[in-house]
Structure 1
Amino acid sequence: MDVYPQKVRQPLTVLAFDFGTKRIGVAAGQSITGTAQALDLIPARDGIPDWTALEALVKIWQPDAFVVGLPFNMDDSESELTLRARKFGKRLEGRLHKPCFGIDERLTSFEARGEILRGNRDEAVDSIAARLILESWFAGLPAVTDDQQ
């Protein structure tokens, strides 16, 4: 799973996921503004998402791509959860026929909990983490060049 597309076109609508085995945080965003909004959680059973709920989100948002947060360990090694998040991304790509990109999501859940403590209590930690993942991905997205438009 690549981090960014080879060629970038604007605008991009993207759905991002903070993968978990019991619930999956979701956010939607737009590359023009580089911002995202947290959406409702997708329930999961042992890492398998409620595909019906996920497909409904895809139908509503019509994303151009997906981004999945990859939970690397602090020493840059991969955990079992990292491997499962990659597998989830591959399933998204294969099942929903949109490109999927993976990005390091270390400390996003920690930062999301901080937002909740600062008063953002209406959103779930996992969906706030998905929003942070997507905004981070947008921040690193290569600029569009004239030959890519």
Structure 2
Amino acid sequence: MSTILAFDFGEVRIGVATGSTEIGIATPVETIAFEENDKKFARIEALIKEWQPSLLVVGLPCYLDGTEHDMTRMARRFANRLNGRFSLPVHLVDERLSSAAASSALNETGLKGRKQKTALDQVAAMQILQTYFDTPPV
């Protein structure tokens, strides 16, 4: 059994989720919302120390047709920085529609509109990690 941390990368906020390979269910952890990269990575370091993951998962945003855009490149750079700083393997997961799915899930709980802002990114990270768990390896 090992723990995995997943990230929904954004320029302003980074959603974080965790899950265990034993049960394969993702749960939201928090949203990191610092402007300075040093503070973001300090918080990520603290989460890595707390959760002791064996793998990190980062959502890879693309257009619906699969082509890459600026955020795709930024997410790849973020994944590379995680690997370089923490010496943990990083797996990229297609995150197309994860934010829409997260918003829909929050709507179902009664959290709508602007009230979703604090939870949306961590629930999107949860969706990304659940996709990782649900997708058989190739």
TM superposition score normalised by structure 1 = 0.82
Correspondence for 1:137: 132
Q: Is the 8 A contact 1:68 1:85 kept in 2?
A: yes
Alignment of 1:82-121 (within 5 A): 82-119=72-109, 121=111
What residue is the counterpart of 1:66 in the other structure? 56
Q: By how many angstroms is 1:12 displaced?
A: 2.5
Once the two structures are TM-superposed, the CA of residue 110 in structure 1 deviates from its matched residue by 0.2
The structural deviation recorded for 1:45 is: 3.0
Mean alpha-carbon deviation: is it higher for 35-44 or for 59-68? 35-44
Counterparts of residues 21-100 of structure 1 (less than 5 Å): 21-45=11-35, 50-100=40-90
Q: Give per-residue Cα distances to partners, 1:95-128, cap 9 Å, x unaligned.
A: 0110001010000100110111111648611100
How much identity, in percent, do the aligned residues show? Answer: 40
Judged with a 3 Å threshold, the aligned counterparts in structure 2 of structure 1 residues 25 and 130 are, in CA distance, closer, same or farther, namely: same
For 2:62 and 2:36, locate their aligned partners in 1 and report how far apart those are by CA, in whole Å: 19
Cα distance in 1 for residues equivalent to 2:38 and 2:94: 21
Looking at structure 1, the residues matched to 74 and 91 of structure 2 have their Cα atoms a distance apart, in angstroms, of 14
Q: Which has the higher helix share?
A: 2
Instruction: Give per-residue Cα distances to partners, 1:50-85, cap 9 Å, x unaligned.
Output: 111111100100000100000010111001000000
Q: Give the AA of the match of 2:25.
A: T
- 1:22 positional shift: 0.2
Q: Match of 1:127, as an amino acid?
A: Q
Number of aligned pairs? 133
RMSD: 2.0
Q: Which runs of 5+ in 2 are unaligned?
A: none
CA drift of 1:32 comes to: 1.3
SS where residue 33 of structure 2 aligns? strand
Q: Are the structure 2 counterparts of residues 48 and 84 from structure 1 closer, same or farther at C-alpha, using a change threshold of 3 Å?
A: farther
How do 1:5-20 residues align onto structure 2 when only pairs under 5 Å count? 11-20=1-10
Which deviates more from structure 2 when the two are superposed, residues 116-125 or residues 95-104? Answer: 116-125
- SS across alignment from 2:22: coil
